[in-house]
Amino acid sequence: MGKLAITGGEPLRRSPFTQWPMSTKEEADALQDVLTSTKWGGQPFPGKHADAFAKKFAAAHSAKYGQCVNTGTVAIQAALKAIGIRPGDEVIVPAYTWEGTVGPVLLINAVPVFVDVDPGTYCLDAKLIEQAITPKTKAILPVHLGMRFADMDEILRIAKKHNLKVIEDCAHAHGGMWNGKGAGSMGDLGAFSFQSSKLITSGEGGAVITNSLEYLELVQTYINAGRASLTDQFHHRTIGFNYRLGEFQAAVLGPQLDRLPQHAAVREKTIKHFESRLQNIPGIALLPPEPRITRLAPYGYVFKYFANKVNDIPRASFVAALQLEGIPCDGLFYEPVYKSSLFPVDAADFPALSWGREKPLDLRAMYSCPEADRAAYQEAVWFPHQLFLGTTADVDAIADAIGKVLANIEELRGLDHKAIRNQKLGRADRES
């Protein structure tokens, strides 16, 4: 029996951290309002709660227009349709992200082009974008991943130079600001998810924000079964789908948006304290500070683990040991999308992969993105945002647990444990 909980010792933390999602009387009242309203769906369009929320949400991110949709994946799909992505067009995406960033590109028979991530942010590396541009490239789809922004200054510059559209995947960035501008307001459209782990959640849900009335109209038509948009100044007609958000889901979003600045302030304080505790710890490196982020929106707190500085004990063992100490965290949280078991692309289902080629593009085999690999399989350690919504004592517990695991790291050498085996697998493939 060792000192670490994973080898039979006492866990450092037994009490739970802040639970997520959380709700207050405001959410209960809003739900009651829907319940008695007889208007539960998103039709007549727009629903009262969905409409009010979308307007406030857009304004909170310095955008003119907002539209709720039923998932973040659909938000990306609707945004791609709004900017006019057609079958066979190419869209530049980061290699290291959730599969839901890329799925919508394929779904509309466009072609995702993977670009590696910047090791300082784990977001799309703007320096590598231009070499991926071809005559078929129509858009760049950066993700503001974890706790950082993709370099929007560079991405917008490149997009302008090459006449490309930009969709920001802001599934991790609710309330985040870059140079004082809201996440999602800098590109042509921003796409958000309200899935249950996100910084604002309706269980499932999403939103699109934009400064263009025409894009808003296109999104509204597409997600409302092809009907005319509310303003219909541009008279777009398209085959659309029912991707509306229901009113029960919309109702719980408003109160959370009101609480977002307060949550952001708590997180800022606890994260500052956490980072002060993580200075000069061998084996741990913080992501470099980014002064252009003027409000942090950390869906996940992310740092780097360097096994070669910690007696070559792999990240899977370090993370599993931390989990057993009572600290929720993850290592293989994302992987290069094209390597993921959730990306079994069959070219027969996506005809554009074959167009104009002798053999279809083999998305699973044609890319090599070393930084995404390093983040996915060796370095990145993710902590869920709600751990930072409590007290500085909570984050002290995380730092203490890290210290404990590192001080007893040799206990992990050669250890076989289900938590370690699970950490070697992507999230979809783990044993429960």
Task: Give the binding site for ligand PLP (CB under 6 A).
Answer: 71-73, 97-98, 100-101, 143, 169, 171-172, 193, 195, 206
Q: Which is nearer to ligand PLP, 116 or 169 (CB)?
A: 169
Whichever of 188 and 394 has its CB closer to ligand PLP, that residue is: 188
Min. distance of Cβ 119 from ligand PLP in angstroms?
18
User: Which residue in the shown chain puts its C-beta closest to ligand PLP?
Assistant: 72
Q: Which is nearer to ligand PLP, 2 or 103 (CB)?
A: 103
Q: Is residue 286 classed exposed, middle or buried when 0-12, 13-18 and 19+ CB atoms within 10 A define those classes?
A: middle
Within 307-346, residue ranges assigned H as helices are 315-324
Task: Name the minimum Å distance from CB 187 to ligand PLP.
Answer: 14
CB nearer to ligand PLP: give 12 or 207: 207
The least distance separating ligand PLP from the CB of residue 103, rounded to whole angstroms, comes to 8
Of the two residues 52 and 107, which places its CB atom closer to ligand PLP in the complex? 107
**Smallest distance from ligand PLP to CB 245, Å:** 11
Would you tell me how many other CB atoms lie within 10 Å of the CB of residue 381? 20
Name the residue among 410, 374, 50, 85 with its Cα closest to residue 230.
50
Task: Please report how close the Cβ of residue 237 comes to ligand PLP at its closest, in angstroms.
Answer: 26
- Token pair of 300 as six digits: 């996940």
Question: Which of 183, 182, 175 has its CA nearest to residue 144?
Answer: 183
How far, in Å, CA of 375 to CA of 117, rounded? 9
CB of 16 to ligand PLP, least distance (A): 23
Closest CA to 114 of 349, 146, 101, 302: 101
What does the alpha-carbon distance between residue 39 and residue 54 come to, in Å, rounded to a whole number? 17
What does the radius of gyration of the chain's CA atoms come to, in whole angstroms?
Answer: 22
Q: Which is nearer to ligand PLP, 243 or 350 (CB)?
A: 243
Judge contact between 383 and 300, C-beta under 8 A. yes
